[in-house]
Amino acid sequence: MKFKSLKIGELVAPLPIVQGGMGIGVSLSNLASAVTNAGGIGVLSAAQIGYREKNFENNALACNLKALKEEIRLAKEKCHNGILGVNIMVATKAYAEHVKTAVEAGIDIIISGAGLPTMLPKLVADSKVKIAPIVSSLKGTKVLLKLWDKRDNVTADMVVIEGPKAGGHLGFHADKIEIEIDNFDKTITDIIEEVKKYSVKYNKDIPVIVAGGVFDGNDIAKYLSLGANGVQMATRFVATEECDAAMEFKEAYINAKKEDVVIVKSPVGMPGRAILNPFVNRTKEGPIKVTKCYNCLTPCNPADTPYCISKALINAVKGNISEGLVFCGENASRINSITTVDSLMKELKTEIMNA
């Protein structure tokens, strides 16, 4: 099928592909810049982005803000000031500080979910930064866009619909995931129609992006045919040379079988999708004592959390897989080799055109 470039205001990406932000440390400047250079939109994850800093154990927040600014600078340099986004979770403690730091560093788009980003318009006021909420339901979309319209007199620059096949934390109750999978196409078309109301009111195009389980060009073509303007993909970019995670992390994807992709319970109360490994099995036996709190997410209480999600994700991205949590999308088991971002993007483009 023929497809159009992805336009977000004055920003134009040749391919309608946004690389999903993956934390902790899976999508940093190396991966994000490579995706942008290949014609898409690369996205950094702000989640505990300073985990490699020397003083991280003593002052995680300062290290995170320092690293966020530096990773944006590096990514911009590597992609020659091409389009870059950053994913900042609403549940992040010091959310406002992270958003303001990203704005100051010159990021183009802030993509924000894990809660409704009600305060985002105020935090980016008087800047050119685009704002893109992540939503998972028509109800959430209506609530957020109505609030921004009434209170801030603004609307979204882009809307990301994250479905139930996504990796990491999911915006659905565990017992409703199968139902949501069956209803996802209707959810997409309903949200597209809701977004159109604000597109008309504000006289601007608001691209709608579909995320969660998008694996190949046929998937992309399907969502474009439903009326979406592009897709967000994350899992496919893990098994690339440019991905910022350790090789052991990438190999966990390559070696995963379909039955290894499971739903886990996160310490913050949400279900998540990850690869079954010794760590996940250990969490089923009982709580893993938290000896250090990184103050990363607002719903987490170290006194009763089943394990420290920051520690688990940091272990994984560094390659300590047996003691780490490896988040992944539903189709991780379909990946069987390492490729380059450029090769992957060319493959996806060809598949879309042939769909």
Backbone angles phi, psi at 13, to 5 degrees: -105, 130
d(CA 171, CA 268): 12
Q: What is the pLDDT of residue 325?
A: 97
Spatial contact of 316 and 253, defined as CB atoms under 8 Å apart: no
Q: Which tokens go with 100?
A: 């303001």
Q: What is the pLDDT of residue 169?
A: 84
Q: Which tokens go with 9?
A: 């205001």
Spatial contact of 160 and 134, defined as CB atoms under 8 Å apart: yes
pLDDT over 80 at 301, yes or no? no
Q: How confident is the model at residue 87 (pLDDT cuts 50, 70, 90)?
A: very high
Q: What is the pLDDT of residue 221?
A: 98
Q: What is the pLDDT of residue 345?
A: 98
Compute the mean pLDDT over every residue in the chain, rounded to the nearest whole number.
95
Range of weakest confidence among 15-19, 77-81, 179-183, 324-328: 179-183
The pLDDT > 70 percentage for the chain reads 100
pLDDT over 80 at 80, yes or no? yes
Q: What is the pLDDT of residue 287?
A: 85
Q: How confident is the model at residue 292 (pLDDT cuts 50, 70, 90)?
A: confident
Q: What is the pLDDT of residue 304?
A: 78
Q: What is the pLDDT of residue 231?
A: 98
| Overall average pLDDT of the 14-32 stretch | 98
| Overall average pLDDT of the 10-31 stretch | 98
pLDDT over 90 at 270, yes or no? no
First vs last Cα of the chain: how many Å apart? 6
Q: What is the pLDDT of residue 267?
A: 85
Q: How confident is the model at residue 178 (pLDDT cuts 50, 70, 90)?
A: confident
Residues 6+ apart with CB under 8 A from 255: none
Q: What is the pLDDT of residue 228?
A: 98
Q: How confident is the model at residue 272 (pLDDT cuts 50, 70, 90)?
A: very high
Residue 271, SS3 per DSSP: strand
Spatial contact of 207 and 158, defined as CB atoms under 8 Å apart: yes
Q: What is the pLDDT of residue 179?
A: 86
Which class for 354: exposed (0-12), middle (13-18), buried (19 or more C-beta within 10 A)?
Answer: exposed
Q: How confident is the model at residue 57 (pLDDT cuts 50, 70, 90)?
A: very high
What residues does 12 pair with on adjacent strands? 7
List pLDDT tens digits, range 317-327.
999 999 999 99
Q: What is the pLDDT of residue 316?
A: 98
Q: What is the pLDDT of residue 286?
A: 86
Residues 6+ apart with CB under 8 A from 285: none
pLDDT over 80 at 348, yes or no? yes
Q: What is the pLDDT of residue 118?
A: 97
